[in-house]
């Protein structure tokens, strides 16, 4: 069967680079090898031992119910990712991610469709909103909330990315409303709410997690102020934000400066046109966690100590760059590359290699690298971010 697959791939990946290496003659998985050619035959600039920095949600266990599904990438799947975990979730129209809370903060990006989110805070202030493609939301630790799929332009529900500020987060360890009540004696429930025990005769015997319900009506009908409005909106329209534009792409940075509710997660939505790349840079504050939305990419991570490793990414993949390691992200496909850069921080920060060299005495730079002055003169005054040639 593998031999048949191999014949369907033109110029299949092989561990060969010039006179180095040799073709595989034993068992192989050509489709998997094709997804990460730069691991099969690393560029000559790769060296040393660098941990795996790539995982695909396609390899994550999928938890399915009548209302939708969820799959996660945590430190179990990608051990290097200690600061951030991610969950890819799908809800049908009416499908509910049940009322719950957790010990990690939740940041989210809506990939497709539309959903209704609800929450209250410790002062009883309530929040409800409808979010659609490109929108964000943020729920701080301990804040109870829910998500429900809606109908939009004929789309049945929604799909979104959840990001948590703890690499050890697990969807199986959230505090679920149905799970709590199922493990509380009914006489205690009756005493708490001042009603007969019979009022709780039909509560679920175990957690619901994701379940199917009716599609809710207009948002206005669900609006409840509670003890008052939230001091800051828990949702944000990232795509309405004016991006930083370059010839080869755009960058939208969202952190607590423009989305005040998001106290522990900062992010950038990066779009790179064919022939372009996210410039050589590093982040001086925390690890970078990436989610690839569309297109194909290549990234080489410089880990210091004469070590570097190159990876290939496609839609649905997760990438990680450990704290302060230098890297780039190149569009290796024929369509726009779109991906999220995620950071466990209240602010976004990066250091540009080009800008560092431009603002260092040029004689000193040339003494290091032996490069022509034209290289330094060609660097723009503003941070390049997305470049190409």
> Which residues are catalytic, by number?
341
Residue corresponding to tokens 């000193």: 364
Q: Do the bridges between strand 85-91 and strand 135-139 make them parallel or antiparallel, or are there none, so unpaired?
A: unpaired
Residue 270: helix, strand or coil by DSSP? Answer: strand
Q: Output the six-digit token pair for 227.
A: 């003890």
d(CA 325, CA 387): 19
Nearest 5°: the CA angle 258, 263, 267 is 60
d(CA 206, CA 179): 6
DSSP annotation of 44 reads: T
Q: Where are the beta strands (DSSP E) in 133-246?
A: 135-139, 145-149, 151-152, 155-156, 158-164, 175-176, 210-212, 235-237, 244-246
At a CB cut-off of 8 Å and minimum separation 6, what does 108 contact? 136, 137, 138, 160, 161, 162, 163
Q: Where are the beta strands (DSSP E) in 182-316?
A: 210-212, 235-237, 244-246, 249-254, 266-272, 276-282, 288-294, 296-304, 307-314
Comparing CA positions, the residue from 305, 292, 342 lying closest to residue 85 is 342
Question: Helices (DSSP H) in 119-268: which residue ranges?
Answer: 177-182, 186-193, 219-222
HSE-CB for 85 with a 13 A CA cutoff: 22
d(CA 285, CA 300): 20
């Amino acid at each position: 069967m593998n031999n048949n697959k191999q014949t369907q791939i033109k110029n299949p990946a092989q561990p060969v680079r010039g006179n180095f290496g040799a073709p595989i003659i034993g068992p192989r998985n050509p489709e998997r090898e094709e997804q990460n050619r730069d691991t099969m035959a690393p560029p000559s600039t790769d060296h040393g031992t660098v941990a795996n920095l790539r995982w695909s949600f396609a390899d994550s266990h999928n938890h399915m119910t009548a209302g939708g599904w969820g799959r996660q990438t945590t430190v179990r799947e990608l051990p290097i990712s200690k600061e951030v975990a991610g969950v890819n979730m799908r809800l049908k129209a009416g499908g509910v991610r049940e009322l719950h809370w957790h010990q990690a903060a939740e940041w989210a990006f809506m990939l497709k469709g539309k959903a209704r989110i609800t929450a209250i805070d410790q002062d009883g202030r309530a929040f409800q909103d409808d979010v659609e493609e490109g929108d964000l939301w943020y729920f701080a630790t301990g804040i109870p909330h829910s998500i429900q799929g809606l109908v939009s332009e004929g789309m049945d529900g929604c799909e979104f990315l959840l990001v948590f500020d703890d690499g050890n987060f697990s969807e199986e360890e959230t505090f679920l409303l149905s799970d709590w009540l199922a493990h509380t004696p009914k006489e205690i429930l009756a005493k708490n709410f001042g009603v007969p025990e019979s009022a709780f005769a039909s509560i679920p015997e175990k957690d619901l997690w994701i379940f199917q319900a009716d599609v809710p009506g207009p948002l206005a009908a669900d609006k409840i102020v509670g003890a008052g409005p939230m001091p800051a909106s828990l949702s944000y329209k990232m795509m309405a934000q004016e991006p930083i534009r370059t010839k080869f792409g755009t960058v939208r940075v969202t952190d607590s400066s423009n989305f005040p509710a998001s106290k522990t997660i900062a992010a950038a939505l990066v779009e790179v046109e064919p022939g372009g790349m996210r410039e050589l840079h590093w982040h001086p504050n925390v690890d970078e966690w990436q989610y690839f939305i569309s297109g194909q990419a290549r990234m080489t991570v410089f880990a210091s100590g004469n070590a570097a490793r190159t990876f290939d990414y496609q839609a649905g993949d997760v990438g990680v760059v450990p704290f302060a390691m230098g890297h780039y992200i190149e569009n290796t496909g024929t369509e726009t590359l779109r991906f999220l850069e995620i950071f466990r921080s209240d602010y976004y920060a990066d250091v540009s290699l080009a800008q560092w060299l431009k603002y260092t005495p040029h004689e000193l730079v040339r003494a290091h690298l032996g490069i022509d002055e034209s290289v330094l003169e060609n660097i723009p005054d503003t941070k390049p971010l997305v470049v190409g040639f």
